[in-house]
Amino acid sequence: MASNLTDQGELRVAAIALRERLVKTTDLRSTFDLAKAYSAVVSKLNDQGELNAHANLLREQLVARADEDVLLMLDAVYIDVVSKLNDQNALKAQATALRELLIKSTESAIAGRLGNVYRTVVSKLMDQNELKAGATVLRERLIRTTDDEELSSLSDAFGVVASKLNDQSELKAGAFALHERLLTTTDIKLASALYRAYRAVASTLNDPSALKSGATPLRERLMKTTDFILAGELIETYGAVASKLNDQGELKAGAVELRELLTKTPDNSLAGKLGEAYGAVASRLADQSELKAGATVLRERLATTTNKSLAGKLGEAYGVVASKLTDHSELTAGAAALRERLIDANEVDLANAHFSSYWVVAERALRRADPPQHKALVQELLTMIGHPFMDDVKPLLLHIKATARQDFGDDLANALRWAEKEYGIKAESLRPTPAVDRRRL
């Protein structure tokens, strides 16, 4: 069988023969078998020039064939071939040719398929000129298309292009175009595709006015929506935009509304997204009263959840908020709450979800504490050494580094000697519960 070949010369011959049969056959079953064999052979070719030649001939077939099922198979084969391409000149040539086909296309079905394959090519492309040209073409079609499948395909392709694009004017225009389409889009599936693309634009957009003009309508729509899926998309998108914002008024408004939603939302999946979005907002927020209110809500929700995924997301958000807080009482309360959750944790995943946020909060509390409070906080941190699910002491010892004024690395014995010498803390006192495995001590 051709798929068992290893010699590059034999593979070249087999690939050409299979391609010739593939582009000529009209039988669906034969097309499927040939496409499978052809992909297996081409995946073993090493010569970039040959791969590009195969891609050129296959690309011509993407608009020449009429049978939709055959076209879908050819799309898949073409994607397999271009996925092997690494030569930037070849990738640029493929992207340019596909973009020109997209400009000429008058059929939404073909444009949608071209958008899918263009997305694959540009995901590997580095050429900023072609990326900008592609973004312009995709944006113009996004604005005027009335076909749902084309809109979804072009949105996904535009998102990939935007995530790699440096041109701020094109990104700003793209954000505006996506925003306009979202105002008139009622279909949840299409809205989800548009929001994915909007998040990709936001990840590279730096224009403060464009970011703010996008954030406010997103927040307002979030507060009005009753659709679960749409709410999730809006939360993720607002978080992506807010993470780039500097406008403190919008950030505070967003933080307040996300916090209020978090107190009311019973669903763990949505609560996790709200936690992540709140963390993104908090990373830019300066308002201490809102940060303290957010910390309280996150801590209380964290104290009651048994969901591992939610615990991880809320814990991470709490860590972000805590790193911005100046209120020592909230920091010590947060450290205590997280420590209790760690002591009670009976699953390794749940414990790991709390560890990283606990280290952040505890270190922050230690840095903010007055010297007389250091002993108790250091003892609490070192107590976690005995946790049965803690396999790596490095993060813990790293967070004592600033107070100890020395780097312990992973030398636990040295850290314990320092704690005993500095504060009189003995290893025997580090016992969170009788059930904790302390064999490592």
Domain limits of the chain? 287-441
**Which pLDDT score, from 0 to 100, does residue 439 have?**
34
79 touches 42 (CB < 8 A)? no
Per-residue pLDDT tens over the stretch 343-398: 777 777 677 767 777 777 777 777 777 777 788 878 877 877 667 776 777 777 87
Amino acid identity of residue 66, one-letter, is A
**Which pLDDT score, from 0 to 100, does residue 66 have?**
62
What six digits make up the tokens of 179?
A: 């925003």
Rounded Cα distance, 116 and 95, in Å? 12
The secondary element (H helix, E strand) that includes residue 375 is helix 371-383
Rounded Cα distance, 80 and 16, in Å? 15
Rounded Cα distance, 318 and 341, in Å? 14
**Which pLDDT score, from 0 to 100, does residue 361 have?**
78
Query: How far is CA 169 from each of CA 162, 165, 397, rounded to the nearest angstrom?
Result: 11, 10, 47
Q: What is the DSSP string of 1-60?
A: -GGG---HHHHHHHHHHHHHHHHH---HHHHHHHHHHHHHHHTT---HHHHHHHHHHHHH
**Which pLDDT score, from 0 to 100, does residue 342 have?**
76
Q: Which residue pairs, CB below 8 angstroms and at least 24 apart, start in 70-77?
A: 70/26, 70/28, 70/31, 71/113, 72/113, 73/31, 73/32, 73/35, 74/22, 74/35, 75/113, 75/116, 75/117, 76/35, 76/39, 77/22, 77/35, 77/38, 77/39, 77/42
Q: Could you tell me how many residues make up the chain?
A: 441
- Give me the residues of the chain with pLDDT under 70, please: 1-4, 65-66, 349, 353, 385-386, 390, 431-441
Rounded Cα distance, 292 and 378, in Å? 24
Rounded Cα distance, 71 and 77, in Å? 10
